[in-house]
């Protein structure tokens, strides 16, 4: 197994790498297209804004590389949002791999934006990635933008309205929360990705 972390400038890269090391996998950070194409598993981590994230991928020539991958690909946090068609954040065109537009949370009484903290996960359909989830499992979120629910939603969450917590389409998957900060639940989900 060869796992790579795509260098898209995300600040959570170190913590994702440590989470994988705890699972016995030493994932290397790279922006080399050849290494990304040759990997058995590809993870696109990210924290920050959509426009700079896409700009960094495009400047490194990685947008088309990622679109052409056939092995399992996992986007984490911003990385998941970048898998979508567009983001309302700076009206950004994204990778177009998940048929969705990332939307800003609507402010509602009693709900702060960004959505920050632990929230309950609810499976909406079966998938090997999420087979380890059980009722009541929670994950740790930090985000102001979210992917609406749709046919691609594996796991949803509610913060005023339902949104996608885990998505999948073909070999492309995403987790809006931070698995590396979500204790045993996050570890089980990362292990599920590595087992694909």
Q: What is the rounded CA–CA span in Å between residue 80 and residue 70?
A: 17
Q: Which residues pair with 172 in a beta bridge?
A: 73, 169
Question: What per-residue confidence (pLDDT) applies to 25?
Answer: 97
C-beta separation of 163 from 149 below 8 A = yes
Q: Is 34 exposed, middle or buried (0-12, 13-18, 19+ CB in 10 A)?
A: exposed
Q: What is the pLDDT along the chain (196 residues), one digit of tens a residue?
A: 999 999 876 666 888 999 999 999 999 999 999 999 999 999 999 888 999 999 999 999 999 999 999 999 999 999 999 999 999 999 999 999 999 999 999 988 989 999 999 999 999 999 999 999 999 999 999 999 999 999 999 999 999 999 999 999 999 999 999 999 999 999 999 999 999 9
**What is the 3 state secondary structure string of 51-89?**
HHHHHHHHHCCCHHHHHCCCCCEEEECHHHHHCEEEECH
CA angle (19 as vertex; 13, 20 as ends), nearest 5: 90
E strand or H helix at 35, and its extent?
helix 33-38
Q: What is the pTM of this model?
A: 0.96
Whether 157 sits among the annotated catalytic residues: the reply is: no
Whether 41 sits among the annotated catalytic residues: the reply is: no
C-beta separation of 15 from 47 below 8 A = no
Whether 138 sits among the annotated catalytic residues: the reply is: no
Taken in order of first residue, the domains within the chain and their CATH numbers are: 3-194 (3.40.50.880)
Which residue in 77, 84, 94, 157 is the catalytic one? 77
């Amino acid at each position: 197994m060869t796992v790579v972390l795509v260098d898209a400038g995300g600040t959570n890269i170190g913590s994702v790498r440590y989470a994988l090391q705890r699972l016995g996998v030493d994932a290397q950070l790279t922006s080399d297209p050849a290494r990304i194409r040759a990997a058995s598993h590809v993870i696109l981590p990210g924290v920050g804004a959509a426009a700079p994230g896409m700009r960094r991928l495009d400047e490194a020539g990685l947008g088309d590389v990622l679109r052409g991958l056939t092995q399992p690909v996992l986007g984490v946090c911003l990385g998941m949002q970048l898998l979508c068609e567009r983001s309302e954040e700076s009206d950004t065109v994204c990778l177009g791999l998940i048929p969705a537009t990332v939307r800003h949370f609507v402010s509602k009484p009693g709900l702060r934006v960004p959505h920050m903290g632990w929230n309950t996960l609810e499976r909406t359909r079966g998938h090997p990635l999420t087979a380890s989830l059980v009722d009541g499992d929670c994950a740790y979120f930090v985000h102001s933008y979210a992917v609406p629910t749709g046919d691609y939603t594996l796991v949803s969450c509610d913060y005023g309205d339902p949104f996608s917590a885990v998505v999948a389409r073909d070999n492309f998957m995403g987790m809006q929360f931070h698995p590396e900060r979500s204790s045993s639940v996050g570890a089980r989900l990362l292990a599920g990705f590595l087992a694909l």
